[in-house]
């Protein structure tokens, strides 16, 4: 069973996913940070594949991506860093990035490598749904890689259901129509959006991303949906060399 499926088979609430950029702050930090997150009680680890033009990301993750690329990070090196990771942890691992580097690597070769390493899911915000369905869905399924799609407050109920049907593992609910790194308490409009998604009774669990920097918004996400994804706040924390364990404990309140 895919590790995401296994997780959600017994955990319906308070699911915490943490995003960090591979090769940041230092080139060889990827494995260390992953294992520290696992030890601290994170449920899902989302590793960013650095890209020169990360359109969905705010300034914090963009800067981490540029630093990682400057450090020498590449997909080939990321796979090398993770090649024996399943000897040390069974935590679900999702890769997030953009379709261009994956196409350069070769979509089937990329998915095969993910299967060999033990990657559970892939988030590609700029991959069109029609292109996935027509060209890549069978490849993802062949290698057991979950494709995770994003919905926003502007996504209609009909479109949400279509994206839910295409997704596996979980559905990623973008909290606001902006890039990553937004902050502030979720307002009534966002809570109404979370409630709307909950009422749709979708096939996949739903995790909220964009805008969760501390425990108050994580708790709101859990009030309506299955959990949340924290990225920019964690990037800032590790850049300042803050304790990973302390950061996770603060999020969980």
Residue 21, beta-bridge partner list: 48
Structure tokens at 10: 């017994």
157 is catalytic: no
Q: Could you tell me which of 162, 115, 149 has the C-alpha nearest to residue 3?
A: 115
Residue 197: pLDDT over 60: yes
Per-residue confidence band for 56, with pLDDT thresholds at 50, 70 and 90:
low
pLDDT score of 180: 47
Q: What does the angle CA 231 – CA 237 – CA 238 come to, to the nearest 5 degrees?
A: 95
67-96 pLDDT tens trace? 999 999 999 999 999 999 999 999 999 999
In whole angstroms, what separates CA 160 from the centre of its chain?
Answer: 18
242 is catalytic: no
pLDDT score of 113: 98
pLDDT score of 162: 98
pLDDT score of 253: 82
Instruction: Give the CATH number of domain 3-9+13-251.
Output: 3.20.20.70
pLDDT score of 184: 63
Among 29, 43, 57, 120, which one carries the catalytic annotation?
Answer: 57
Q: If 0-12 CB within 10 Å is exposed, 13-18 middle and 19+ buried, where does residue 50 land?
A: buried
Residue 181: pLDDT over 70: no
Report the largest interatomic distance among the alpha carbons of the chain, rounded to a whole angstrom.
45
Residue 51: pLDDT over 90: no
**186 and 225 Cβ atoms separated by less than 8 Å:** no
Residue with tokens 């499926």: 5
pLDDT above 70: percentage of residues in the chain: 95
Query: What is d(CA 238, CA 247) in angstroms, rounded to the nearest whole number?
Result: 9
pLDDT score of 55: 63
Mean pLDDT of the chain: 94
Query: What is d(CA 252, CA 95) in angstroms, rounded to the nearest whole number?
Result: 23
pLDDT score of 139: 98
* Cis bond before residue 25 (omega within 30° of 0): yes
Structure tokens at 100: 């261009």
Query: What is d(CA 243, CA 36) in angstroms, rounded to the nearest whole number?
Result: 9
pLDDT score of 168: 97
Structure tokens at 196: 């709307």
Structure tokens at 252: 């969980």
**194 and 220 Cβ atoms separated by less than 8 Å:** yes
Among 29, 38, 46, 164, which one carries the catalytic annotation?
Answer: 46
| pTM (two decimals) | 0.94
- 54 in the Ramachandran plot: left (φ > 0), alpha (ψ -120 to 50) or beta? beta
Query: What is d(CA 107, CA 135) in angstroms, rounded to the nearest whole number?
Result: 10
Per-residue confidence band for 205, with pLDDT thresholds at 50, 70 and 90:
very high
């Amino acid at each position: 069973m895919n590790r995401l499926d296994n997780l959600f088979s017994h955990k319906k609430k308070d699911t915490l996913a943490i995003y960090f950029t591979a090769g940041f702050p230092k080139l060889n930090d990827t494995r260390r940070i992953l294992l520290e997150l696992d030890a601290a009680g994170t449920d899902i680890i989302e590793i960013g594949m650095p890209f020169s033009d990360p359109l969905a990301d705010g300034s914090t993750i963009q800067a981490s991506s540029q630093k990682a690329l400057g450090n020498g990070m590449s997909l080939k090196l990321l796979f090398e860093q993770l090649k024996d990771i399943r000897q040390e942890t069974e935590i679900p691992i999702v890769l997030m990035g953009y379709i261009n580097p994956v196409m350069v690597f070769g979509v089937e070769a990329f998915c095969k490598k993910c299967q060999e390493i033990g990657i559970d899911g892939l988030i590609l915000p700029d991959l069109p749904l029609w292109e996935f369905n027509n060209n890549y869905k069978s490849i993802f399924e062949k290698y057991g890689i979950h494709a995770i799609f994003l919905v926003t407050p502007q996504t209609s109920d009909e479109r949400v259901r279509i994206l839910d049907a295409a997704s596996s593992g979980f559905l990623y609910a973008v909290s606001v129509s902006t890039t990553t790194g937004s902050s502030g308490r979720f307002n009534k409009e966002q809570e109404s959006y979370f409630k709307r998604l909950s009422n749709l009774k979708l096939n996949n669990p739903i995790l909220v991303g964009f805008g969760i920097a501390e425990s108050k918004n994580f708790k709101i996400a859990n009030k309506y949906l299955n959990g949340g994804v924290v990225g920019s706040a964690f990037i800032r924390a590790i850049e300042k060399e803050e304790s990973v364990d302390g950061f996770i404990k603060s999020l969980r309140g």
